[in-house]
Structure 1
Amino acid sequence: MRRERLLDRNVNIITDLDGKKFVLINDIRFKAKRREDWENVETYLKEYVEEFYEIAETSEKIFISTDFPDEYANSESRIALKGAVAKAKANAAQGIPELIQIATNREFSKNIKKKHEKAAKYGWYRYDVRFALPVYDDKTGQVIRYNIFSARMLVRHDEDGKKYLYDLLAIKKETSSPLES
């Protein structure tokens, strides 16, 4: 069941004119007008638990643990999100495997919080990722363009030696020209 549902996604990896990759998410799965339904996002993310994906640039394997869906949907940084950026994070959930694959610009930092002394015993890694979401014409329902977002993917290096996806942070809409349909 899990594989069947994960394969039923409309997501592609695209390279822009500058040679940078981004994940093109072709469907808006989470469409709440005022507030995203984060319980549904969390439930959706549970489909990825126990899977792993490889970062193309570094060949690192990134695992998805049982704590990821809750952290992604309920973290302090997510609660602070409003409007289009909240909707972007909710819908970015559809492209988690591809976001891991295109992650770039790895940065390491030591763990300094006692609460993460086991889960991030060997520190934290941050990577740059980009994704695009469609914008629809209200009257026709047709895609008129794609808005491109950048974000930082946060990965913890556990005491078991594995790296686990932890959250998607610092999501920002790029101010350059949106991708026209």
Structure 2
Amino acid sequence: MIENRNVNIITDADGKKLALINDIRFKGKRQIDWDDVKQYLEGYVGDYYEIEESAERIYIGNELPEEYTESESRKSLMGANAKAKANAATAIPELIQIASNPAYEENRKEKHNKNAKFGWYRYDVRFALPVYEENVLVRYNIFHARLLINHAENGKKYLYDILAVKKETSKP
């Protein structure tokens, strides 16, 4: 269990939930230290959290830190989206809690026969990160992402990665 997290779940003007991340833990304009993110994620291993709308338990297994920080999808992220994924690590419990719109997909790769024997689920999540100018909060940037959850041979569902992190474009 990771302590001293400053994350709230709020409902936006459209009635949709999002995780409001109040502290930027992983800073850096150019380079995120993914080893720090991996070490941080290791603090969740062994925990589980419930999806609010379905009461399903999602476990945090020991594959998450490696997959989250070393996956091809992470390596393709640049700039604000990379920083957003790094900082989303601080809101894992809240992101699982507000996960919605599940989509099921059968396992297609032999290498996942054990850890995703019963397939994969993708859930929509949203989170917000503060934007500061000269140490003054000026706004929040909102991001959309997909939680990737595997349904393992032991019958449990595990958070595997967070994919498709993308900044929402502002509405005029």
Which of the five TM-score ranges fits, normalised by the shorter chain?
A: over 0.9
Residue 33 of structure 1: CA displacement? 2.0
Q: Corresponding residue for 2:159?
A: 165
2:24 to 10, 25, 28: 28
Distance of 1:48 and 1:177 partners within structure 2: 35
| Corresponding residue SS for 2:84 | helix
Q: Which letter maps to 2:40?
A: Y
| Corresponding residue SS for 2:87 | helix
| 1:94 corresponds to 2:94 | no
1:62 to 58, 61, 64: 58
Instruction: Note the residue ranges of structure 1 that are not aligned, 5 or more in a row.
Output: none
Q: Which letter maps to 2:139?
A: R
Q: How does 1:1-181 map to 2 (within 5 A)?
A: 3=1, 6-137=2-133, 140-177=134-171
Residue 29 of structure 1: CA displacement? 0.5
| Corresponding residue SS for 1:48 | coil
Scaled by the length of structure 2, what TM-score is found? 0.98
CA-atom RMSD in angstroms: 1.1
Distance of 1:65 and 1:155 partners within structure 2: 11
| Corresponding residue SS for 1:100 | helix
Instruction: Note the residue ranges of structure 2 that are not aligned, 5 or more in a row.
Output: none
Distance of 1:146 and 1:41 partners within structure 2: 22
Matched length: 172
Residue 46 of structure 1: CA displacement? 0.5
Distance of 1:161 and 1:64 partners within structure 2: 14
1:10-59: CA deviation from partner (whole Å, max 9, x where unpaired): 10000001110000000110002211000000000001000000000111
Residue 177 of structure 1: CA displacement? 4.5
Identity of counterpart residues, as a percentage?
63
1:41-81: CA deviation from partner (whole Å, max 9, x where unpaired): 00000010000000001110000001101100110100111
Q: Which letter maps to 2:38?
A: E
Distance of 2:95 and 2:31 partners within structure 1: 24
Q: Which letter maps to 1:113?
A: K
| Corresponding residue SS for 1:125 | strand
